[in-house]
A and B are shown apart, each in its own frame.
Chain A
Amino acid sequence: GQNIDQPTEMTATEGAIVQINCTYQTSGFNGLFWYQQHAGEAPTFLSYNVLDGLEEKGRFSSFLSRSKGYSYLLLKELQMKDSASYLCAVRTGFQKLVFGTGTRLLVSP
């Protein structure tokens, strides 16, 4: 079976740093994705990890440890517009993505 776990909700303050964790147990692994989804909108691609380590992209970084089945998304210098759901997804086969239920992040002033 496929199991991807994320915290349901997190809160943080504007300008702060927040780390959103994701653990996974899947039959097959061919990369891990993070997507951002604002309420009622389409998910948009944020980052991709296939090898262990940290990938940095501006204010966002994503980390992967395949041996631990663990990833995190790090958001720095939080802005109000970062209030959204963050979806962790594992590619288990030929371009097949399995999504976690997402973490709703609320950024307050």
Chain B
Amino acid sequence: DSGVTQTPKHLITATGQRVTLRCSPRSGDLSVYWYQQSLDQGLQFLIQYYNGEERAKGNILERFSAQQFPDLHSELNLSSLELGDSALYFCASSPRSLAGGPGELFFGEGSRLTVL
């Protein structure tokens, strides 16, 4: 158990719909990352937040948005869903500083989204 909690674990929805994925980071971690993993694809970095502020953006579509709240949990909003959005969405968190170690990411179990 990494300490990162993601909900829901599974989600099935239709094209054109909107969904929200939720992530609670490890206690004390200020950084939250979102990654998308499609079948046979690597982990694609979407976006990173640090203490409520957007810190880095990757290949995140305009239909997708995210935010990190004052209690440090984060939500990823996916709208106008398409078949190609079907994927495993991972949230990860990281310690505030590198002093305690290499600063590796701790991943949640992921939210599997299926768009029909």
Show the binding face of A for B, using Cβ within 8 Å: 31, 33, 40-45, 48, 50, 87, 89, 91, 93-102
A50:B107 contact, CB within 8 angstroms: no
Q: How far is the CA of A95 from the CA of B56 in the complex (A)?
A: 10
Whether B24 is near chain A, meaning CB under 8 Å from some CB there, is no
User: For the complex, would chain B's binding face be called helix, strand, loop or mixed by DSSP majority?
Assistant: strand
The contact string, 1 if C-beta is below 8 Å from chain A, for chain B 36-62, is: 000001111100101000011000000
A9 to chain B, nearest CB (A): 11
Chain B residues whose C-beta falls within 8 Å of the C-beta of A45 in the assembled complex: 104-106
A102 to chain B, nearest CB (A): 6
> Who on chain B is nearest to A50 by CB?
B102
A100 to chain B, nearest CB (A): 6
Whether B25 is near chain A, meaning CB under 8 Å from some CB there, is no
A96:B48 contact, CB within 8 angstroms: yes
